[in-house]
Amino acid sequence: MQSLLRYLSEIFGNAFQQAGMDSSYGDVVISARADLGQFQCNGALAAAKAARQNPRAVAESVLANVSPREIFADLSLAGPGFINITLTDQFVAKRLRAAAADARLGCEATPHPEAIVVDYGGANVAKSMHIGHLRSAIIGESIKRILRFTGHNVLGDVHLGDWGLQMGMLITELRRHQPDLPYFNPEFSGPYPEESPVTIEDLEQLYPAASARAKSDTEAMEQSRQATAELQAGRPGYLALWLHFVGVSIAVLRRDYGSLGVTFDLWLGESDAQPQIPTMVQQLRAAGFAELSEGAEVIQLPPASEDEREIPPLILVKSDGGAMYGTTDLATIQLRVEELYADRILYVVDARQSLHFEQVFRAARRTGIAGHAKLEHLTFGTMNGTDGRPFKTRAGGTMKLHDLVELIQTEAIQKMEEAKIGAEYPDQEREEIVRMVGVGSLKYADLSNHRTSDYVFDPEKFVRFEGKTGAYLLYAAVRMKSILRKAADQGFAPGEILPPTDAERELALLLTRLPDEVEYAADRRAPNYLCEYAYNLAQAFSRFYDRCHILREENVALRGSWLALVKLCLDQLTTTLELLGMEVPERM
RNA sequence: GCGCCCGUAGCUCAGCAGGAUAGAGCAACAGCCUUCUAAGCUGUGGGUCACUGGUUCGAAUCCAGUCGGGCGCGCCA
């Protein structure tokens, strides 16, 4: 089914065309003046300007050409040339019946499906996830779901930080503590132990220690570089050790991402691109893209057109022969294009990496590595504390993701106790509710900000469950479920959706919007639009709920219509929340 | 120095491919539970959209400049 705005825009586009003007002027949008109409078309103003005509006269002639007319309860001209549009209740009801009968709730799948890789998460081996990893995971997960829902073939890749200097640091640091391990003995011929010599706790201690040491001690840094080079050259002991680091880390990452409802199709990492690098570099040299500069090999990236700016070259090979992360990213693009047949690769990464991605993308396009694939850096802003500085705990440290999830769930438990809700629920169900409410609140708080803006991360505030919060949305959905359950118990079934009256018109109109809202969010890769829509739905439902006592309604047809409306509302809200990565409990 | 992003209500944020009277939540104040879950609903007050200029019939939205804030800028990732 064609989306409503598209359908209306087509009608007005045709009307403009018949009046001798471009159909693009026919764009219909939600009205900014609900008192004057449900929708509006402003194209006559722009068309009049282009044609040097009187805008009201243009609007008049367009109005005369509008067809079909019977779906409109009112079409009127206002102000300098606005066309205000109000649909008949019959037509609205017809749209809703069609949406309710459709498995996709009236959302058409894209006619041009692409193979899309979404690169998000970005966790590192040996570092436990902290709140700095939150946004990429939450935003990336939502964008993945949205694009998948719109009909694309989407693969989510965690793209682990499992390679590079940090690995060398870990190796040297561990050697410092346990030099007798067989991994460090060049004479050792294997096999190496299957059991990891370190736990995740060990790694989390080792990493900051190693990092600090390398920063202050040039000799330690040199050793780390050396170890990194040897690892990359394939020294068996180091490789075996590294595999343990990765294995131990992934187990914990799966748990942490899992607790957020974030799942990946691919658990690839920087290391997976390494085998690709030597031949790729050879190809680039052969094709004349590599250039010697200050001992390193670089790819120059001069502007190719006026809208490109000067940017520094991409370092392809360091002066010590090693690869930089830009090289790894290039090789990863090559892999995704050649082996995953990616048409498009999206990177959900902090805005501070903008320059890096600009370099990588430009290099990938110039050299042909990207092929026909489109590359997009979907930036997101920094999470600051209430003081406007990057977020820190009271103790001044970074808050671990695990602790944050726990904190917010503790709060959910407290809220339920205060409201005297769920005391009689089985323990397991109550735990599930707490998880869904806690994680949902956290995600909604994050996603309702536009992804590109920096925002203040205030746990005290996110934990509140009143107002425009995830908990409010879940609460609304749960009330819908409750009504439908009680209706079924009493033998009341949803019936045919009738033309809305004043009591439910607001809700009914909102329910015609899902396809346009999803498309809007998908086009902009911006989940916050869906957050807004979900909130509007929940609010419109709550008002309707307050005004109309559904189960007490004695008119069977009306009650059936209302129940069908609740059902459709629940389906749409659930779908929208799913696209945001939120789960709805049966009751709460 | 160069570049990127951002200044909207007391606070946190939407809105920005130009459109009519700039929205929401929180906070403040006033109401609504013998009725489908009050984590709810209703109402009131609160804004020179940082500033200046420009483009336009029309600018929070586009352009230029100024001020203020954040971030980034070749061998870490």
For A468 and B28, how far is CA from C1' in angstroms?
18
A450: nt with nearest C1' to CA: B14
Q: Report which DSSP code applies to A126.
A: T
Assess contact for A375 and A343: CB atoms under 8 A.
Answer: no
If you average pLDDT over residues A281-297, what whole number do you get? 96
Give exposure, A102-117, as e/b (b: 16+ Cβ within 10 Å). Answer: eebbbbbeeeeebbbb
Does residue A17 belong to any structural domain of this protein?
yes
A84: nt with nearest C1' to CA: B20
Q: How many domains does chain A have?
A: 2
Percent of chain A with pLDDT over 70: 100
CATH code where residue A83 lies: 3.30.1360.70
Asked whether the predicted pLDDT for residue A342 surpasses 80, the reply is: yes
Protein residue at shortest CA distance from C1' of B12: A456
Does residue A445 belong to any structural domain of this protein?
no
Q: How far is CA A266 from CA A158, A187, A309, A374, in A?
A: 7, 36, 34, 20
Nearest to A272 by CA among A202, A339, A198, A363: A339
Does residue A518 belong to any structural domain of this protein?
no
Does residue A29 belong to any structural domain of this protein?
yes
Does residue A10 belong to any structural domain of this protein?
yes
Compute the Cα dihedral for A425, A426, A432, A435 and give only its sign: positive
Q: Please, which positions of strand B sit below 7 A from a protein CB? A: 3-6, 12-17, 19-21, 24-27, 35-42, 56-58, 69-77
Listed residues A201, A236, A259: the one ending a domain: A259
Q: Report which DSSP code applies to A22.
A: -
Give the per-residue pLDDT at A399. Answer: 85
Tokens coding A547: 């005004």
Assess contact for A43 and A29: CB atoms under 8 A.
Answer: no
Sole residue written with tokens 């992804």: A451
Does residue A536 belong to any structural domain of this protein?
no
Protein residue at shortest CA distance from C1' of B42: A543
For A419 and B38, how far is CA from C1' in angstroms?
10
pLDDT digits (tens, 9 = 90+) for A166-190: 999 999 999 999 999 999 999 998 7
Range of lowest pLDDT (A269-278, A396-405, A464-473, A546-555) = A396-405
A389: nt with nearest C1' to CA: B70
If you average pLDDT over residues A212-239, what whole number do you get? 89
What pTM was estimated for this model as a whole? 0.96
For A449 and B64, how far is CA from C1' in angstroms?
30
Listed residues A55, A87, A119: the one ending a domain: A87
Does residue A214 belong to any structural domain of this protein?
yes
Where helices occur in A74-159 by DSSP H, the ranges are 89-101, 134-149
Listed residues A46, A67, A87: the one ending a domain: A87
Total residues found in chain A within this entry: 588
Give the per-residue pLDDT at A419. Answer: 80
A44: nt with nearest C1' to CA: B19
Asked if the peptide bond before residue A179 counts as cis, ω within 30 degrees of 0, the response is no
Does residue A30 belong to any structural domain of this protein?
yes
If you average pLDDT over residues A382-395, what whole number do you get? 81
Q: How far is Cα A106 from Cα A108, in angstroms, rounded to an integer? A: 6
Question: What three-state secondary structure class fits A139?
Answer: helix
**Domain range spanning residue A218?**
165-259
pLDDT band at A142 (very low <50, low <70, confident <90, very high): very high
For A560 and B75, how far is CA from C1' in angstroms?
70
Asked whether the predicted pLDDT for residue A49 surpasses 80, the reply is: yes
Neighbour-count burial of A325, counting CB atoms closer than 10 A to its CB (0-12 exposed, 13-18 middle, 19+ buried): middle
Asked whether the predicted pLDDT for residue A361 surpasses 80, the reply is: yes
Protein residue at shortest CA distance from C1' of B17: A524
Give the per-residue pLDDT at A432. Answer: 94
Protein residue at shortest CA distance from C1' of B23: A32
Q: How far is Cα A104 from Cα A73, in angstroms, rounded to an integer? A: 28
Asked whether the predicted pLDDT for residue A412 surpasses 80, the reply is: yes
pLDDT band at A519 (very low <50, low <70, confident <90, very high): very high
A417: CB partners within 8 A, 6+ apart: A423
A457: nt with nearest C1' to CA: B12
If you average pLDDT over residues A39-56, what whole number do you get? 92
As a whole number of Å, the end-to-end CA separation of chain A is 35
For A35 and B21, how far is CA from C1' in angstroms?
11
pLDDT digits (tens, 9 = 90+) for A143-164: 999 999 999 999 999 999 999 8
